[in-house]
Amino acid sequence: MEEFKPESRPSILKTEAINLYYGSFHALKNVTVGIPQRAITAIIGPSGCGKSSLLRVFNRLNDLIPGARLEGNVLLGDDPIYSRTMSVETLRKRVGMVFQRPNPFPMSIYENIIFGPKHHGIKNKGELENILHRSLSQVALWEEVKDRLKKSAFELSPGEQQRLCIARALAMEPDVVLMDESCSALDPESTMKIEELMLELKEKYSIVIVTHNMEQALRISDMAAFIMIDDSKAGTLVEFAPTKNMFSSPKDTRTLDYITGRYG
Amino acid sequence: MMKGSSRVTENIIKTLIWAAALSVLTVLVVIIAYILIRGLPVISWQFLTEIPRNMGRSGGISSTIVGTLMVTLVAIVIATPFGIGTAFYLAEYTRRDSMVTRVIRFSAESLAGIPSIVYGLFGFIFFVKYLGMGWSVLSGGLTLAIMILPTIIRTSEEAILAVPNLYREVSYSLGGTKWQTIVKTVLPSAIRGIANGVILSVGRCVAETAAVVLTAGSALRMTTSLTSPTRTMAVHFYILASEAISFENAYGTAALLIILIFLINVVANTLINRFIAKGR
């Protein structure tokens, strides 16, 4: 893999010195990152440092937590996402998410995929079937499930379920896909399939992952953001750099300590 | 030594628990069997299709069956939307510890603890007298609706809260609005629990005596409209037995009441499995 040059890529998502609070708890402190377009950015760091919180800043899923409050600007392209000009539904249409565990709805495979498009008012059957075919093909699941689209999504294996969940997010044709430790509940073989899939998807989408797995970050991500809690227990961005550079020559001793497994 | 004594304790407790379960089952079986043995021989085609004659000494009980079903239907149709609406409000639209939520929940719990005769008295004063509805299917149904409201609220709220939060997050992450999330995600997952609460309430309506006798009346003729008085099976049974009119027909009515409740449960559960819970 050639060296990744972030300068050559415009950022699709940018945070400008954001602070995130849950009530009186300061969860993220002064975080500035730019997520490059059509690349994989990994957010890494020890448990409880605020990785998932940062991910959920990008689709405003933190809004669901009572008492959550964000200071500072977050831009999707040029649009501020924490403003009245963009509805949260539009934002989430453009920024999709895949969760830690495979979590299909208790519905058929078909209904799972068209769930999002239907929310956004697509009713035409032909159009919905195009979406179904496209998104399932994108995750290499079409051939396996095309004859049982009306069957419950729970009949799929966990790995297939997770690919279905990725397809469900892709059905919205988002610009960005957020993945919150999306392989951590899967066996190694399924994990490998999903990693391959992510490398294919980054040709078209900008992907942000949260991972605990250093090898995974190194294998598939172009950029890495290392987050850690500081002395006041707030998550801060320690280092943000091309993954290869960060792992070969970390600039901060805390990064070095973490990636060499001294804590975490 | 220690091990041996703890095993003895274990066995004693096991036996006690078994005995408890067994005695409950025995009581239930004995009651049902006793009523069915005395009541079933009375039930005939004529008993089901004719209206009571001679105060219920002879004839059938058809008008009371119709009365029971009508009063219950009115109660369920009115209480269900209010109950489910309140439950969704409590579970989805307010914070659990807010003042409003606590007041509503406290009110609902208090309503649940009121004896049914008090509902009957209220229904009599408010619907029958004050609103001038008289003894009628409507007065009875409305009174029962208020009575079963807490049950529907409580069971629905529990069913809604039992829906994994993850489903809501996924729906929101796909750009769903709150309303879409509730209708498309939460409701389908909670509907089974909600339906169970409604079925439970149907049972209570069918079996209720005190609240109905004061509001729906005890007329024996066939009910023709929502504004005419009626007598439910439970009331019929109560009057036949308490006024010593006909113990035979009282047992027949009781047996039919048990069969009816059983049938409602079976049919409702089949419908839920067939139409609501499919693919789940």
Residues 6+ apart with CB under 8 A from B10: none
Residues 6+ apart with CB under 8 A from A2: none
C-alpha distances in Å from residue B2, one per residue of A18, A130, B12, B14: 61, 69, 16, 18
Please tell me the distance from the alpha carbon of residue A51 to that of residue A43, in angstroms, as a whole number. 6
Q: Which of B95, B168, B279 sits opposite A107 (nearest CB)?
A: B279
Q: Which of B170, B174, B279 sits opposite A108 (nearest CB)?
A: B279
Q: Which of B172, B177, B280 sits opposite A64 (nearest CB)?
A: B172
Please tell me the distance from the alpha carbon of residue B263 to that of residue B13, in angstroms, as a whole number. 37
Confidence check: pLDDT of A264 > 90 = no
The angle, 0 to 180 degrees and rounded to 10, between the axes of the packed helices B187-207 and B137-161 is 140
Partner-chain contact B170 A103, CB within 8 Å: yes
Query: The domain A9-259 is classified under which CATH number: 3.40.50.300, 3.30.160.40, 3.30.465.10, 3.30.70.1150?
Result: 3.40.50.300
Whether chain A has a CB inside 8 Å of the CB on B107: the answer is no
Sole residue written with tokens 């079986």: B29
Class of domain B46-276: mainly alpha
Higher local confidence (pLDDT), A6 or B165: B165
Per this entry, what is the length of chain A? 264
> Three-state SS for A242?
strand
**Please, what are the averages of pLDDT over each run of 10 residues along chain B (280 residues)?**
76 95 96 94 90 87 93 96 94 85 88 92 96 94 96 94 92 92 91 91 92 92 90 93 90 93 89 67
Tell me how many helices (H) and strands (E) chain A has: 10, 10
Pairing of strands A11-22, A206-210: unpaired
Give the pLDDT confidence of A119-139 residue by residue, as tens digits: 888 889 999 999 999 999 999
Q: Is the dihedral of CA A28, A245, A219, A255 positive or negative?
A: negative
Smallest CA–CA separation between A232 and chain B, in Å? Answer: 29
A interface with B, Cβ–Cβ below 8 Å: 59, 61, 64, 66, 89-93, 96-97, 99, 101, 103, 105-108, 115-116, 118-120, 151-152, 165, 168-169, 172
Give the pLDDT confidence of A175-216 residue by residue, as tens digits: 999 999 999 888 999 999 999 999 999 999 999 999 999 999
* Residue A122: alpha-carbon gap to chain centroid: 25
> Three-state SS for B249?
helix
Q: Does an H or E element contain A4, and which? A: none
Angle (nearest 5°) at CA B164 between A140 and A139: 5
Q: Is the ipTM beyond the 0.85 threshold?
A: yes
* Residue A146: alpha-carbon gap to chain centroid: 27
Angle (nearest 5°) at CA A175 between A173 and A180: 95
Q: Is the dihedral of CA A109, A113, A116, A122 positive or negative?
A: negative
Whether chain A has a CB inside 8 Å of the CB on B46: the answer is no
B174 to chain A: closest CA residue: A116
Angle (nearest 5°) at CA A223 between A217 and A225: 80
Please tell me the distance from the alpha carbon of residue A134 to that of residue A113, in angstroms, as a whole number. 10
**Nearest Cα to Cα of residue A173 among A117, A221, A247, A212:** A117
Retrieve residue B169's tokens.
């997050």
**Nearest Cα to Cα of residue B90 among B105, B75, B79:** B105
Smallest CA–CA separation between B191 and chain A, in Å? Answer: 13
For residue A39, the one-letter residue type is A
Give the pLDDT confidence of A17-56 residue by residue, as tens digits: 999 999 999 999 999 999 999 999 999 999 889 999 999 9
Smallest CA–CA separation between B173 and chain A, in Å? Answer: 6
pLDDT for position B278: 53
pLDDT for position B275: 73
C-alpha distances in Å from residue B128, one per residue of A102, B30, B146, B249: 57, 39, 15, 29
Q: Which of B168, B172, B279 sits opposite A92 (nearest CB)?
A: B172
